[in-house]
Amino acid sequence: MGKIIAVHSYKGGTGKTLLSINLASLYANRGKSVALLDLDFRAPSLHAIFKVHDSEYWLNDYLNGVCEIKKTLHDLSQTHTKKGRVFVGLANPSTEAIREMTAKDRKWEMKALGRLLSLKTSLLSDLGLDYVIFDTSPGLQYSSINAIVSSDVVLVVSGMDISDIRGTQRMIDELYELFEKKTGLIMNKVFADILSSRTQRADLAKKLMNSYNLPMIEMIPCFCDILKTGGVSIFANEYPEHPFIKTLDRVATNIENL
């Protein structure tokens, strides 16, 4: 059976969406079937990146019990991969929908958890997908914790600033461990100078792994040219030889070993 991967972080702006999209594309380019779901209902973004501006059904509708998950999936295989299949499920970006999602009560959140948990059957078993990637909202809130509980693997993305490192440590101890999740760490936007030599990389990795007590999946340097694209292109497809994509390719393989 396939895997559900939740990409999460303590703070916003760590690069979860960029990593999620390119990871989905890399798996598809390996001939896999992947669904990428935008579970950041407070700040939806996949609709803009994949240029899908209208949807008959959103993931909000699935969680509200209005439709089945298949109705929310957009098949972008023809335009986004040459080998496998890519489906995208979008969060409704309208202000009204965002407001509605932030006002849900505990009973609704409990039902939403049940629906996210059932994706293992509907997407992995019934549709036969190899990977489902949850792009989550940052921090400790209902939608992201629901996503973490429903996933098989959590990729926690952290930057190098102290507030992010402390917050991530707390999340590892008080969230991922309590739910006994397989978790891997990705340090993103690491200052390139401190990764310049093999010894420096090894020292930093050791220090961070001791501090987080988690396996280090990868330390990704900060690439200014990615920022220059303004998020309008999918790097894995347009620049497959870019060092960022080469690094992510190792991430895709390492997830298998978690």
Judged by CB under 8 A, which of 162, 178, 224, 232 binds another protein? 178
Q: How far apart are CA 30 and CA 256, in angstroms?
A: 14
39 binds another protein (CB under 8 A): no
**By rule CB under 8 A, what count of residues binds another protein?**
24
180 binds another protein (CB under 8 A): yes
73 binds another protein (CB under 8 A): no
30 binds another protein (CB under 8 A): no
Judged by CB under 8 A, which of 49, 97, 113, 165 binds another protein? 113
Beta carbons of 157 and 8 less than 8 angstroms apart? yes
Q: How far apart are CA 47 and CA 197, in angstroms?
A: 39
Question: Smallest distance, Å, CB 107 to another protein?
Answer: 6
106 binds another protein (CB under 8 A): yes
> Number of helices and strands (H, E) in the chain?
13, 8
The residue written with tokens 């739910």 in the block is 179
229 binds another protein (CB under 8 A): no
Piece in contact with another protein (CB under 8 A), picked from 129-137, 143-151, 209-217, 228-236: 143-151
224 binds another protein (CB under 8 A): no
Q: How far apart are CA 165 and CA 246, in angstroms?
A: 25
149 binds another protein (CB under 8 A): yes
198 binds another protein (CB under 8 A): no
The candidate with the shortest Cα–Cα distance to 10, out of 150, 173, 133, is 173
Question: Smallest distance, Å, CB 103 to another protein?
Answer: 15
Question: Rounded to a whole number, what is the distance in angstroms from the first to the last CA of the chain?
Answer: 15
Question: Smallest distance, Å, CB 105 to another protein?
Answer: 9
Q: Where are the alpha helices (DSSP H) in 32-141?
A: 46-49, 59-63, 77-80, 95-102, 106-117, 119
CB atoms closer than 10 angstroms to residue 129? 24
What type of residue is 210?
N
162 binds another protein (CB under 8 A): no
What type of residue is 174?
E
Piece in contact with another protein (CB under 8 A), picked from 84-92, 130-138, 141-149, 235-243: 141-149
117 binds another protein (CB under 8 A): yes
The residue written with tokens 């895997």 in the block is 3
User: Which residues contact another protein by CB under 8 A?
Assistant: 65-68, 106-107, 109-111, 113-115, 117-118, 120, 142, 145-146, 149, 174-175, 178-180
